C-alpha cells in the first residue's frame, strides 16, 4: 500500500535551540486512523505543524502523494487545502466576528468562491448543529461549541488528511461523545485521521495504528495491541495500559481465558466474551 504522506528523517529545532523532532520517519496511509501518543513535550504538536506546513523541517523531507512539500506560496496553499489541523485550543484558530465568518474565513483565503463557501458553511452548520449560532461571535460560545466551529473551519476545505490535536481535551462527556461520532463519520467517508490523545482507552479502541513519541523521537509504531503489549515503550512514552487490556490480562493470569487469546478492543466486547464463556461452560 502506497502512503498518502511520507515523513522522512525529519528534524525540527526551535529558535531557542530546543530540538523537538529527532530523525522522525513515519508513513501515513489513506483512510487510516492513526493515534499519536506521548507525554506533553514529546513532539506531537510540532510534528503536526510540520505536516501542515506551518513549520518547516530543520532537516529531512515530507512528501504528500509522492511529491515533496515545498515552501512556496502555491505549494503551501495546496498543502493546507488537503491537510487540515483542528487545534487543541479552539481560540487559537478563531479570527472572525461571527461563526459564519469564522467557518468561511480559511476557505475564502485559500481561494474558494463566496458562493461555494456559503453553501458549504450552511451544509456543515446543519451537520454539526451550528445553524442557530451562525450570526453569533465565536468567542462567546461554550467550549464544546467552539470545538465544533473549529472542526467546521477545517472540514469546509474537504481535506484528505485531518489532524486533531487533543480533540476531546477539557470537554464534558456529552461533547466528548459528539466528537467521537464526528470522528467515526469522517472515517466512514474515507478521510485519513491523525489524532493525538492522552486517553489510552480511546486510542486502544479507536486506532488502526499507533505512533508513540518520547522526547522528539518516534519510538514505536504498530497496531494498538502491538504497542500496548510493549511495556518498555509504555514506560518510555509515559503511557498507561488501557483498562480493558489490564482486565483481560488479569483474567488470563487467573486461567479464565486460554493463553494466546486476543484481547477485544472495547469493554463491551470483553463483557460479551465473558458472557459467551459462561454460556459454554453451563
What is the tens place of the pLDDT at every residue in 179-229? 999 999 999 999 999 999 999 999 999 999 999 999 999 999 999 999 999
Q: Which three cell numbers stand for residue 1?
A: 500500500
- 63-117: pLDDT as tens digits: 999 999 988 888 888 898 899 999 998 887 788 899 999 999 888 888 889 999 9
Q: What is the pTM of this model?
A: 0.92
From the CB of residue 205, how many other CB atoms can be counted at a distance below 10 Å? 19
| 133-143: b (≥16 Cβ within 10 Å) or e | bbebebeebee
H helices, E strands: number in the chain: 11, 10
- The answer for residues whose C-beta is within 8 angstroms of residue 240's C-beta and 6 or more apart is 200, 234
Stretch 225-253: mean pLDDT, rounded?
Answer: 94
The DSSP H or E segment spanning 195 is strand 192-196
Mapped onto helix, strand or coil, the DSSP state of residue 75 is: helix
Amino acid at each position: 500500500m502506497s502512503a498518502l504522506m511520507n515523513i522522512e528523517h525529519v528534524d525540527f529545532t526551535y529558535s531557542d535551540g530546543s530540538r523537538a523532532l529527532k530523525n522522525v520517519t513515519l508513513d501515513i496511509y489513506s483512510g487510516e486512523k492513526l493515534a499519536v501518543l506521548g507525554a506533553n513535550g514529546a513532539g506531537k504538536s510540532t510534528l503536526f505543524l510540520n505536516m501542515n506546513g506551518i513549520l518547516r523541517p530543520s532537516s529531512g523531507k515530507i512528501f504528500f502523494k509522492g511529491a515533496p512539500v515545498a515552501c512556496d506560496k502555491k505549494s503551501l496553499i495546496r498543502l493546507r487545502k488537503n491537510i487540515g489541523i483542528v487545534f487543541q485550543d479552539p481560540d487559537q484558530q478563531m479570527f472572525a466576528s461571527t461563526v459564519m465568518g469564522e467557518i468561511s474565513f480559511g476557505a475564502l483565503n485559500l481561494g474558494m468562491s463566496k458562493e461555494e463557501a456559503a453553501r458549504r458553511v450552511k451544509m456543515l452548520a446543519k451537520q454539526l448543529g451550528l445553524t442557530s449560532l451562525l450570526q453569533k461571535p465565536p468567542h462567546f460560545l461554550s467550549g464544546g461549541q467552539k470545538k465544533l466551529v473549529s472542526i467546521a473551519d477545517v472540514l469546509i476545505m474537504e481535506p484528505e488528511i485531518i489532524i486533531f490535536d487533543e480533540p476531546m481535551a477539557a470537554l464534558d462527556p456529552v461533547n466528548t461523545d459528539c466528537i467521537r461520532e464526528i470522528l467515526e463519520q469522517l472515517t466512514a467517508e474515507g478521510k485519513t485521521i491523525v489524532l493525538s490523545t492522552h486517553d489510552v482507552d480511546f486510542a486502544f479502541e479507536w486506532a488502526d495504528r499507533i505512533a508513540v513519541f518520547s522526547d522528539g523521537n518516534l519510538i514505536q509504531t504498530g497496531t494498538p495491541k502491538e504497542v500496548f503489549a510493549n511495556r518498555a515503550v509504555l514506560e518510555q512514552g509515559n503511557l498507561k495500559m488501557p483498562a480493558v487490556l489490564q482486565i483481560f490480562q488479569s483474567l488470563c493470569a487467573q486461567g479464565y481465558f486460554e493463553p494466546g487469546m486476543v484481547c477485544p478492543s472495547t469493554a463491551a466486547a470483553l463483557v460479551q466474551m465473558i458472557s459467551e464463556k459462561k454460556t459454554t461452560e453451563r
